[in-house]
Amino acid sequence: MEYERTRNNKRRELKLLYDSEWTPEMDYALRNYFNGCVVCGSIQNICRDHVLPLSKGYGLKPGNAVILCVKCNCSKHDKNLKDFSAILRPMN
């Protein structure tokens, strides 16, 4: 329990630090640019995510944001999107 609380606090601090430039207008533009998950194509349960991971110091900025479904986002963890997509390709 304590580990989860510490991990969540650290992630929240990183988001405040690195995602501070992200605006609602950028979110709107991103959702209009990507019709669905960039990995599997799903249009249900989609969310915004970092191409290069937040845990490695990359915040949400134009060029570092994509739309993923919740399933792909949870599977991605702290990999960058290019490495994650390469892992998935042989399975499809």
Token representation of residue 38: 């960039």
Q: What is the pLDDT of residue 90?
A: 44
Q: Are 84 and 39 in contact (CB under 8 A)?
A: yes
Q: What is the pLDDT of residue 91?
A: 41
Q: What is the pLDDT of residue 80?
A: 78
Q: What are phi and psi of 36, to 5 degrees?
A: -165, -170
Helix (H, G, I), strand (E, B) or coil at 46: strand
Q: What are phi and psi of 46, to 5 degrees?
A: -95, 155
Q: How far is CA 66 from CA 6, 37, 69, 86, in A?
A: 27, 8, 10, 16
CA dist., res. 50 & res. 73, Å (int)? 9
* pLDDT-flagged residues of the chain (< 70): 85-92
Q: What is the pLDDT of residue 43?
A: 93
